[in-house]
Amino acid sequence: MTLRVLVPWQRLFDALQIPGIEPILWHINDDPEDAPEAEVLVTERPSNPELRSRVARIKGLRHVHLLSIGYEWVLEHLPQHATLTNSRGAVEDATAEHCLALILASLRELPKALEQQRKQRWERIWTSSLHGSTVLLLGAGGVGSAIAERLAPFKPAQVITVASKARTLDDGTVVHGISDVEQLLPLADIVIVALPHTSRTERLVNAEFLARLRDGALLVNIGRGPIVDTEALLQELDRGQLRAALDVTDPEPLPSGHPLWTAPNCLVTPHMAGDTGEFLKLVSELAIAQVRGIFVGKKPFNIVTDRN
């Protein structure tokens, strides 16, 4: 029996040229036609939300492997009996690295320095710093943990971690429950959003949330765009009350002419946190191992069990 596998990249197609496996090059974003019949789909998250439903139209599909950690987009389109896995373990380091880059670029006013460079103007800029700041980190999963690990060498005054449930981690870190956020917000110089998008987190960062932050605080969203109320954030930015660094936005992709592009003290990157050569290598290795394991009858790893 041949295992038909849809893959989005040539390197995966080449690596799966194995007797008994038939790789089929098909990209959920780029191919004009729906996918041919296949048992396994290896896919990125489609940039256009309207293309997500293409998953549901794949005949014979019994397993989906995502080249990302986030999986919420695919749930409503997943066949009832299909299993779902993600790329946990390949994405966290690149995402955490980009998060730190956003923080440092924003705090140390690098966009302003670049503007001065282009004008050939030598003028010192006094800035804030990660050193000595209080960081409120929303998210204690793989990405949140990787971010916390990278924050430590910069000597913040403290890092306060928040997740859906209060608990103490193996290393002794106290994690606050989401219900504590309201009282913690006034303490924060920097708020990092590294949460998944769920019904509980949608618009968590709303007008009331933002109003509790001290003037000049920096909001960093490395999680999902809909967690932040864009209109509420724009109002705070326009008033000069807050700063923002966003790798994800709502809407996404951010359309030309959207006010976030030109909002004051706002740095935007195009959902590129995981887009590194090392990530590509690691995520490809995971996908190849997953498909080979399925072919020989092994239980898939990184199974997503939360499908409600």
Token couple for 145: 């943990």
E strand or H helix that includes residue 23 = strand 21-25
Report d(CA 78, CA 25) in Å as an integer: 20
What DSSP letter does each residue of 241-286 carry, written as one string? S-EEEESS-SSSSPPTT-GGGG-TTEEE--S-TT-SHHHHHHHHHH
Question: Is residue 275 within 8 Å of 3, Cβ to Cβ?
Answer: no
Quote the DSSP letter at residue 228: B
What are the angstrom distances between the C-alpha of 265 and each of 145, 202, 233, 245? Answer: 27, 24, 11, 8
Question: DSSP 3-state assignment of 149?
Answer: helix
258 is catalytic: no
Length of the chain as a residue count: 308
Token couple for 249: 């936005």
Report d(CA 209, CA 162) in Å as an integer: 14
Report d(CA 291, CA 21) in Å as an integer: 9
Report d(CA 306, CA 308) in Å as an integer: 6
Task: Quote the Cα angle for 234-240-242, to 5°.
Answer: 70
What are the angstrom distances between the C-alpha of 290 and each of 20, 21, 46, 69, 265? Answer: 15, 12, 21, 15, 43
| Residue positions annotated with a catalytic role | 271
